[in-house]
Structure 1
Amino acid sequence: MDEPAGAPQHDGGSTSAAAVHVPVLLDRVLALLAPALADRPAIAVDATLGLGGHAAALLAAHPRLTLIGLDRDPVALERSRDRLAAYAARVHLVHAVYDRMPEVLAELGHPGVDGVLFDLGVSSMQLDVADRGFAYSQDAPLDMRMDQTAGRTAEQVVNDYPVPELARVLREFGEERFAMRIAQAIDRERRVAPLRSTAQLADLVRTAIPAATRRAGGHPAKRTFQALRIEVNGELAAVRAAVPAALDALRVGGRVVVLAYHSLEDRIVKQELAARAADTTPVGLPVVLPEHGPQLRLLTRGAESAGDGEIEANPRAASVRLRAAERVRAAS
């Protein structure tokens, strides 16, 4: 997410790497979800299963838990299936983007759940496999799809989008101040020949950005790669749909935990949690109307970040922002 696309994130890049790369903020996630899951036949959704690191820890901690794991990446699902094989009787794995959560829960006959976890963004498995095209530090085809079975690629975006639309993507999703310069440079290049590789794009972005800017702030292609990945995978639209759906699915006493890795995702989460934690009783009334009272109780003061010790042990946690809430009232 906000960390360099050349560096891995989340909980591991391969079956062997899963033993090395620990899930981000694992202990904090477990502690926040435990009151909603402990000592009962609870149901939880891991909406971004990845390699199943958080899921495995939750299943081990709560022997009566049933876990529903969603992921848009078929490769991640298969690796998680292997990792979670010991808990197979209590696990449902579904190939789906997390904004399909209501549909998945309905199909499985679970109208309400006790916990939901989101670990947003690209997984380290996707970053670590060079031919996925997420990392500017490795030359690869410009793909960037989290689900390689569907959708447009980053190559199609950079070669087909009109310059104003391409600049908008870079500006809005990458918060790139030189969005138009980069879009125009891409256009000049693609008029000669289509852009095909991550190295070609990274070099082009580097030359398009002023030299003084290139000397600070990390790799100059970082924001461009983030923006293209978000556009290719429709990430922000999915978050906007999925977080409200997850909150609607929570039973009273249920909890949601969200790990976000850049400000765009975190802002969506913050606004949705804050809106549902607010008292909407009309101004001037002497008492809180029950049907207008807060639906949520915020469990974190703002967004929590990883401590120095965890970041040192697990650099993937450097840019994480964690927010959590508990449902305290059913929707009217």
Structure 2
Amino acid sequence: MLERPPFRSILAATVMSLVIAGSATAQDFSAAWPNTDFSRSTIQMDEVMSGGPPKDGIPALSDPGFRPAAQETRLAPREPVITFAPDGATARAYPVRYLMWHEIVNDTVEGQPIAVTFCPLCNTGIVFSRRLNGKTLSFGVSGLLRNSDMVMYDRESESWWQQATGLGIVGYYAGQELTQLPAWMESWESFRAAHPDGQVMDEPNWRRAYGQNPYVSYDSSIQPFLYDGAPPPHGIAPLARVIRVGNRAWPMERVRAAGSLTEAGVTITWQKGQASALDSANIGAGAEVGNIRVRDAAGRDVVHDIPFAFAFHAFFPDGVWMLGN
């Protein structure tokens, strides 16, 4: 069973992929992807490169087990989880300590098929509906990157999907878009307080260093991994976190300083208590990044995610930066 090696090992091992990617074509990928329709594409193939592991080298999960939140003792209070709590369903927490090593969880909640996704290199934690055009898809990790972001694939057509946007980029579903669902990243302590009767994803039956961060100090790096695109504007550090709502991005530090901001029809709040998953070797001991919630005027949760600034700029080059000046 393959697993992602430490970040520095990946960096050394993939220098050659940078050279190869500069002239990549569909033919370069066709041997590993014989079922992908490369005649359909919304991108230039030389934008895609290997991230290190091969197809399914990072094993996506399906139909995970759960346990009552009150019975979970392995998670540290400040560890991040992705919360999915649709109306009428028991809230579920998906610990980032597991998503760090699997990146995709195919699950079904009250009959609704979902994909819980996390790209460590872009800090994008997003939940998508797996329903598209009347069909239910299941997703795997391609081992490929574009703008440092995970390229997912569906097992039904082997089309490629951009995790940061939910857009089909190559194959039968090129040009299609997955529906992003309201979900948010919060600390385990915050989840337990809000959902004492909630469920938490159980530890997968794989040999992995769950609870450890293979990308130590990544979010304090100067340069993103395998990214050679333009830096974000306005002097914002590439690996600074932003809150993305649609094509708008609020710098995390601005929200943190204010505590709460109401702009562009949403209210964004920051509260202390969540560790960065991409800082220290022990995920639960990471630097403080805080808990973010985004709600509309009626108090309903709003679809959003918290990418690094470089990722927002790469995938939303005409996006609006909410700087407050």
Bin of the TM-score, shorter chain as denominator length:
under 0.3
Please identify which structure carries the higher helix content. Answer: 1
TM-score, normalising length: structure 1: 0.27
User: Of the two, which has the highest radius of gyration?
Assistant: 1
Q: State the TM-score, normalizing by the size of structure 2.
A: 0.27
